[in-house]
Structure 1
Amino acid sequence: MTSHPGLANCHSHAFHRALRGRDVGGGTFWAWRDRMYAVAAVLDPDLLHDLAVATYAEMRLAGIGVVGEFHYLHHGPDGTAYDDPNATGEALIAAAREVGLRICLLDTCYLAAGFGVPVDGVQRRFSDGDADAWAARVHDLAARHAGADDVVVGAAIHSVRAVPPGQLATVAHALPDAPLHVHVSEQPQENADCLAATGHTPVALLADAGAWTSRTTAVHATHLSDADITTLGDATAYACFCPTTEAELADGVGPSARLRDAGARLTLGSDSNTVIDLFAEARAVEMHERLVSGSRGTWRASALTEAATRSGYASLGFAPDLADADAVTLRDSVRLAGATEPLWAATAADVEPPKNLPYEAADVAVMLRRAVGAIWERV
């Protein structure tokens, strides 16, 4: 048996778990997004809670001690707020607590369908109308959980295409002491649209809004210019890579080593939850770098372990040493037999089930089948 620090899943969309293992169409990221929106359209707080409990339990079984939930499914199907405007956020927090998972609820501002394009269809569920209304709602949620040792309420900018340039600063400064996360340069089209509309790259536009600080995480950061990398490095920002999702969606391979060398700090996430295995995510950073560079050993196991554990906790507003408090045990499995560095060989299946998880693995599988089935019956 080997002890390993608790893992930090720094970027999750829990409801995407319903898409795993299903044929959702070929083509590009944008074709996949249509099916994801179909799932988003049928969720209500109760069904979201049920899916999140099962998904978060799967994370606990995989050795994850804290999740950063990038949450933008705020309102009812036509955009009308629930009686409690934070009902869906509270459903996610309750789900995490039910399985003993720490959560940074990254309440996400999403106001537009593109530069100068209003939200439509399911996107109405995501929007608060403007950044001030979003900020008022998230301040209420943060106040409810102030002082909790298992919950952090942070802020998120969905993307530069989803928050008008003039409102980016409001979001960036709404919770000045909390984590701030943002999808940035995930797709080349995002960069092209931003340049056409503003004359800036997404990173540069966000810099003008004061978004880049040591508490900020750039999620994906796949298609960056040299100047973008310098900006993120100078800010000592975090860069959250989600390699299995970035591969599954054909996004590309981000410049992890160049960001590190510039001063940015790596973290990891499961994003669409196509796979919930932080060992796989960590290894993929090095393996993808090998494919791009033709060179081995850009990332040492110790650096990837730090990214998957203590750095991740810090990026979500939790003390880094909580990763040691949340330590998990790795079995003496066939995969780890003879291994001197577990990160290069371990999988989520090698984690001993946490003693304080109220469900057995078989129970979690049943819960997932039930929740996913209920969602697809509505789609």
Structure 2
Amino acid sequence: MQKLFFDHALLGEGWADNVTITHEAGTIAAIERDSTQGDAAYGGSIALPGLPNLHSHTFQRGMAGLAETRGPSGDSFWTWRQVMYGFLGALTPEDVEAIAAYAFLEMLEGGFTAVAEFHYLHHGPDGAPYANLAEHCERIAAAAEATGIGLTLLPVFYAQGGFGGQPAGEGQRRFLNDPVRFAQLLEGARKAVASLPDARVGVAPHSLRAVTPESLAAILPLAGDGPLHIHIAEQVKEVEDCLAWSGLRPVEWLMDNVPVDGRWCLIHATHLTDAEVGGIARSGAVAGLCPITEANLGDGIFAGVEFAGQGGVYGVGSDSNIEITAPGELRQLEYSQRLALRGRNLMAQRQGESTGRRLHDETCRGGARALGRAIGALAPGHRADIVVLDGAHVDLAPMRGDRWLDAYLFVAGKAALDRVYVGGRQVVAGGRHAAREAIEAAYRRTLARLVKA
């Protein structure tokens, strides 16, 4: 048993002062309000549940800034994707690990304490599998171990280049598997994370354009009781191509052909009809939103106000990792709704409610469901994943209660972060990860070679 004492903490029932959190083997065993510090270690000023990051492609952190040059015409997600294909062509397993470790470090310094890694870079540059089929899974697991972040690993099944079984292109050859080899890869992934505390493995069909109905049916049972994630309805062209293939929109097709429930996370779900918004909300599936990436790629704006108003569950992820910041994702989510609907405080749902509190509560709940782990709350039985704000920060010092969250999300951002604990173990102090120096040095060496290449 270990104890941490906090001046203030956001518990399931609300804010409390002088809180002692007792944890055992990384899991919260007891919480005492209005306590004295006694023999507990001092944990910090303002404790929040750590925010889960429900969607990440860590290797893309290495290409951040490389796709911001205007092309001849019509720059879009699809032209960005070509830049991405060129970048990944030179990545080695060592590069994958170095980039993942740096991205995970930034997540922890930015307020995320756990991540769902949507992992689809499986093979060598020529598309041939490594002798160890799960080589890259092991590299992701090693990066998680080095940084201490909680991990849900989602090996991605990718077999086609477009709807209706179109052949994959050369840039996709490092992603490809058939269902038999994917099952082997999945077993390797489970072994790769076996030594990590509280890690989970799920299954992620990349998108409806990357699978056939037959292969989708073959791989879904492989997840067991693990989470299921899929990219869907991110782009208008994707919707149009799905209609041309099946006569249905992507979400319509998925809902008609697969028993979508609370184990599912539908990533992006940007372009929806009113009926699709309601259908996802009723299913219990999580809408996996990546507001900074969606803005960077020009995807569009999710129907957040309508979805939340129907009781939909949502969370956020850092996706392409162009900028890694938990408060930044929540701020961008709210701001996207303000721009689309020309209003303010739109994700809050009742008069007098803090927008920051609503966003943080909902994305903790949705992220925990998407990662399939008992996280996202300071409560017994949950992992002791805790983000601590600096109560003396100039923007937080005059505040109290929910206004701490509003100031954190909309004003100070990650500059207000002081400490981070994962499973009760401190990994960030003074806003800086304990292993930053070594991890950053390896990342710098990796980028120096890749950017020249």
TM-score by length of 1: 0.93
- The residue type equivalent to 1:125 in the other structure is R
Map of 1:25 onto structure 2: 69
Is 1:172–2:199 an aligned residue pair? no
2 CA distance for matches of 1:356 and 1:280? 21
**Aligned 1:1-379 pairs, distance under 5 A:** 1-26=45-70, 27-115=75-163, 116-128=165-177, 130-142=178-190, 145=193, 149-299=197-347, 300-320=355-375, 325-331=384-390, 332-339=392-399, 340-342=403-405, 343-354=409-420, 355-356=426-427, 359=434, 361=436, 363-378=438-453
Identify, as 1 or 2, the structure richer in helix: 1
Please list every run of 5 or more consecutive structure 1 residues that lacks an aligned counterpart in the other structure.
none
Q: Evaluate the alpha carbon distance shift between residue 68 and residue 186 of structure 1 in structure 2; reply closer, same or farther with a 3 A threshold.
A: same
Instruction: State the Cα RMSD in Å.
Output: 2.1
Change (3 A) 1:169 1:261: farther
Instruction: For residue 161 of structure 1, give the secondary structure of its aligned residue in structure 2.
Output: helix
Q: 3-state DSSP class of the match of 2:278?
A: helix
Q: Structure 1: which amino acid aligns with 2:411?
A: A
* C-alpha distance in structure 2 between counterparts of 1:369 and 1:14, whole Å: 15
- Secondary structure at the counterpart of residue 174 of structure 1: helix
CA shift, 1:42, in A, is 1.1
Q: What is residue 40 of structure 2 aligned with on the other side?
A: none
The answer on whether the counterparts of 1:168 and 1:206 sit within 8 Å (CA) in structure 2 is no
Query: CA contact under 8 A between 1:169 and 1:209: conserved in structure 2?
Result: no
Residues 11, 69 of structure 1: 8 Å contact kept: yes
- The alpha-carbon deviation at position 140 of structure 1 amounts to 4.1
* Aligned equivalent of 2:15: none
The CA distance in 1 between the partners of 2:223 and 2:67, in whole Å, is: 39
- Give the 3 Å change call, closer, same or farther, for CA 177–118 of structure 1 in structure 2: same
Change beyond 3 A, Cα 1:304–1:125 = same
Residue pair 2:315, 2:366 contacting (<8 A) in 1 also: yes
Q: Tell me which of the two structures has the higher relative contact order, counting C-alpha pairs closer than 8 angstroms and 6 or more residues apart.
A: 1
Q: Aligned partner of 2:316: which letter?
A: L
- Code of the residue aligned with 2:451 in structure 1: it is W
CA 1:137–1:323 in 2, change beyond 3 Å: closer, same or farther?
farther
SS in 2 for 1:118: coil
Q: CA 1:365–1:21 in 2, change beyond 3 Å: closer, same or farther?
A: farther
Q: Distance in 1 between matches of 2:257 and 2:186?
A: 19
SS of residue paired to 1:328: strand
Provide, for residues 296-327 of structure 1, a one-character-per-residue CA deviation record: whole Å limited to 9, x for no partner. Answer: 22223222112332431231011035666111
Q: 1:66 to 1:195 in 2, by over 3 A?
A: same
Q: Distance in 2 between matches of 1:203 and 1:53?
A: 34
**Range that drifts further, 177-186 or 280-289:** 280-289
Gaps of 5+ in 2: 1-44, 348-354, 421-425
1:71 & 1:256 partners in 2: Cα distance? 26
Post-superposition offset of 1:72: 0.3
Q: What amino acid is aligned across from residue 373 of structure 2 in structure 1?
A: F
Q: Is the 8 A contact 1:24 1:35 kept in 2?
A: no
Seen in structure 2, the aligned counterparts of structure 1 residues 147 and 199 have a Cα distance that, compared at 3 Å, is: farther
| Kept after mapping to 1: 8 A contact 2:89/2:125 | yes
CA distance in 1, matches of 2:188, 2:445: 33
Mapped to 2, the partners of 1:276 and 1:256 lie a distance apart of 21
Equivalent residue of 1:117, what SS?
coil
Q: Which residue identity lines up with residue 375 of structure 1 in the other structure?
A: L
| Aligned mates of 2:118, 2:231 — CA distance in 1 | 10
Q: Is the 8 A contact 1:132 1:170 kept in 2?
A: no
| Native 8 Å contact 2:57 2:320 kept in 1 | yes
Task: Please report how far the alpha carbon of residue 143 of structure 1 lies from its aligned counterpart in structure 2 after TM superposition.
Answer: 5.4
- Alpha-carbon distance between aligned partners in 1 of 2:277 and 2:224, rounded to the nearest angstrom: 23
* Bigger shift: residues 23-32 or 233-242: 23-32
Q: Report the Cα offset of residue 23 of structure 1.
A: 4.5
- The offset of 1:41, in angstroms, is 1.1
- The one-letter amino acid paired with 2:242 is C
Structure 2 Cα separation of the partners of residues 231 and 298 of structure 1: 21
Per-residue CA shift, 1:38-90, capped at 9, x if unaligned?
Answer: 11111121110011111111111112210111100011122211111011011
Distance in 2 (CA, whole Å) between partners of 1:245 and 1:327 is 25
Q: Is the Cα contact below 8 Å between 2:55 and 2:319 reproduced in 1?
A: yes
Residues 306-315 or 213-222, more deviating: 306-315
Q: Which has the larger radius of gyration?
A: 2
Aligned pairs, how many? 377
SS of the counterpart of 2:202? strand
Percent sequence identity is 35
Q: How far off its partner does 1:346 sit?
A: 3.6
Higher strand share goes to which structure?
2
**Counterparts of 1:322 and 1:337 in 2: how far apart (Å)?**
24
Distance in 2 (alpha carbons) for counterparts of 1:113 and 1:323: 43
- Look up the equivalent residue of 1:349 and give its one-letter code: A
